[in-house]
Structure 1
Amino acid sequence: MAFQPYTPKPITDIFTADTDIDRRKCHRTVPMRVLALGLGRTGTASLRTALKELGYTDCYHMMSASVENPPDCLMWQDAFAAKYDGEGEFGREQWDQLLGHCQAVCDWPAVAFAKELIEAYPEAKVIMTTRDVDSWHASTLKTVDWRANDPELKLVSQWDWGAGLYQPMLRKFWDVFFKGDFKKYGKQVFNDYYAEVRSIVPADNLLEFRVSQGWGPLCDFLEVPVPESKKFPHTNDTDGFVDRCRARNRAQMYNVLFRGFVMGGGILAAILSASATFHRFGARLPGLRA
């Protein structure tokens, strides 16, 4: 569904540290310099950290929408609606609103719009992180595919502000990009996707990169010096993914419970106050005396 209305973060959401920025009111403040269009679970989180280390401010990642600024999901839904459902438009103006604070973008859901991003930012260098398709598929089944189908997240999304923005966007992305069945179509989509990007990006503007290669190829391609005495980052490993997601679910459920406590307490206080007022003033009215 295109253009869902923005709603502000509840003041009772004290167990999550999400920001609350309405990107539809934003614009580009820094030039887009890097489109890192490798699929998620190919080292994109490590690349994001590396690009930040190299001075790129900021690098967009799925975590930008999932755990940093959930209202971003509204614009991603607009983008999905425009591309896959024929509802509305999503061009350079909208990309600048959503990504205007970033000099780089990586991971999903951006990969669903590789062609559109390349057309919107032809001056940007293109990097594709990659890995063996079988190990990638196994890793993604245990992590993001699990998350896209996580019943606990779906449940929490019915009441929590952040989860309610993120879960529908993730589900939409997973369905349209992987044809509704990641286990069955994941490897085919992987191979087709990488072939498509290779076909539309000039070879001299494309780096296919494995994070195990370290700083050398990346810095050569970006024409920047290798950071001295700093190991290439390795983050967002498979083993900790599920634990982090479950911790996020718990924090969001605490938000829901706290909001219920505050609202319930407020209603109870109002009832008690009304009752006290009635007894205090009602007793003075002739018709209400015992």
Structure 2
Amino acid sequence: MAFQPYTPKPITDIFTADTDVDRRKCHRTVPMRVLALGLGRTGTASLRTALKELGFTDCYHMMSASVENPPDCLMWQDAFAAKYDDEGEFGREQWDQLLGHCQAVCDWPAVAFAKELIQAYPEAKVILTTRDVDSWHASTMRTVDWRVNDPELRFVALWDWGAGLYQPMLRKFWDVFFKGDFKKYGKEVFHDYYAEVRSLVPKDNLLEYRIGQGWGPLCEFLEVSAPEGKRFPHTNDTDGFVDRCRARNRAQMYNILFRGFMMGGGIMATLLSASVTWYRFGSRLSAFRS
């Protein structure tokens, strides 16, 4: 759903450190220099850290919307509505509002707008991170596809401010980009997407890059010096992804319980606590039975 109004973060959300910047009131403050348009799970979190180390600050990533500033999801929903539902417009002005504080962008959901971003920022260099499609698909199934379908996240999103902004946007992105079935269409979309980006970018402005190549090709392409004595970053590994997401769920559940206590007293908090406990027990029982 597009054009939802911005609402500030509740003061009772003390268990999460999210900011609540309304991007619709922002504008571009730094030039967009890098469009890193490889699909998520191709090393985009490591690339984000590397680009920031090289001075490209800030670098937008899905984490910017999921755990840093959830109101960004409102503008992403506007962008999805404009592209996929023919509702409203989303052009350079809106991209500058959403991404105006960033010199680089990577990961999803930005990849759903590769063509639009290339048109909006033709002066930016384009990096296409990639990896073997089978290992990428397996990794994504265990991480982001799991997160999209995480029943705890769906439940928390009914009550928590940040989750309520993020989960609908994530679901919309996954459905429109992967044709409603990542397991079935993921590899097909992977191949089609990379072919499309290659067709859109002049070869001299495109770096196809694997994270294992390190600083050399990246710094040469961006015309910057490699950091002395620093190893290339490796972050957001598959093994820790689920644990981090579940920790986020717990923090948001604590927000819900604390708000219930402050607004409705002990009885409300008890009811919410019982609801959360019963829901989590029911989800695990269903998983055990299946």
Normalising by structure 2, what TM-score?
A: 0.91
- The residue type equivalent to 2:262 in the other structure is V
Aligned-partner SS, 1:115:
helix
Q: Distance in 1 between matches of 2:10 and 2:2?
A: 23
Mapped partners of 1:240, 1:128: distance in 2: 24
Letter of the 2:70 counterpart: P
Mapped to 1, the partners of 2:108 and 2:60 lie a distance apart of 10
Matches within 5 A, 1:100-115: 100-115=100-115
Q: Could you tell me how far apart the structure 2 residues matched to 1:253 and 1:227 are?
A: 41
Matched residue, 1:28: 28
Aligned equivalents of 1:224 and 1:242: distance in 2? 35
User: Is 1:129–2:129 an aligned residue pair?
Assistant: yes
Matched, 1:62 2:62: yes
Displacement of 1:257: 0.3
Q: CA deviation at 1:266?
A: 9.5
**Alpha-carbon distance change, 119 to 73 in structure 1, aligned in 2, over 3 angstroms:** same
2:154 alignment counterpart:
154
**Is the radius of gyration larger for structure 1 or structure 2?**
1
Amino acid at match of 2:221: F
| Distance in 2 between residues matched to 1:186 and 1:84, nearest whole Å | 18
Structure 2 residue runs without a partner (length 5+)? 269-290
For residues 265 and 145 of structure 2, the distance between their equivalents in structure 1, rounded to whole angstroms, comes to 39
Mapping of residues 133-144 of structure 1, within 5 Å: 133-144=133-144
1:264 Cα deviation from its structure 2 partner: 1.3
| Matched residue, 1:170 | 170
Distance 1:62 1:130 in 2: 17
* Equivalent-residue separation in structure 1 for 2:36 and 2:144 (angstroms): 19
CA distance in 1, matches of 2:254, 2:267: 20
Q: 2:277 maps to which residue?
A: none
Q: Secondary structure at the match of 1:218?
A: helix
SS across alignment from 1:40: coil
Distance apart, 1:267 and its partner CA = 9.9
**Percent identity of paired positions between Structure 1 and Structure 2:** 90
Classify the secondary structure of the residue corresponding to 2:105: strand
- Label 1:267 to 1:137 Cα distance change in 2 as closer, same or farther (>3 A): closer
Letter of the structure 2 residue corresponding to residue 117 of structure 1 = L
Letter in structure 1 aligned against 2:218: L
C-alpha displacement at 1:191, in angstroms?
0.4
The answer for unaligned runs of 5 or more in structure 1 is 269-290
1:84 matches 2:114 = no
List structure 1 segments (4+ residues) > 4 angstroms apart after TM superposition: none
* In 2, Cα distance between equivalents of 1:187 and 1:225: 36
Per-residue deviation, 1:226: 1.0
CA RMSD of aligned residues (A): 1.1
- Three-state SS of the structure 1 residue aligned to 2:98 is helix
- DSSP 3-state at the match of 1:127: strand
1:240 lines up with 2:229 in the alignment: no
Residue 96 (structure 1) aligned with residue 96 (structure 2): yes
- Shift in Å, 1:265: 2.6
Could you give the per-residue CA deviations for residues 95-121 of structure 1, whole angstroms, max 9, x where no partner exists? 000000000000000000000000000
The TM-score with structure 1 as length reference comes to 0.91
- What is aligned with 1:288? none
The equivalent of 1:284 in structure 2 is none
Q: Distance in 2 between matches of 1:84 and 1:32?
A: 25
Q: Deviations over 1:145-185 (max 9, x none)?
A: 00000010000000000000000000000000000000000
Aligned to 2:221: 221
Other-structure match for 2:204: 204
Secondary structure at the aligned position of 2:126 is classed as strand
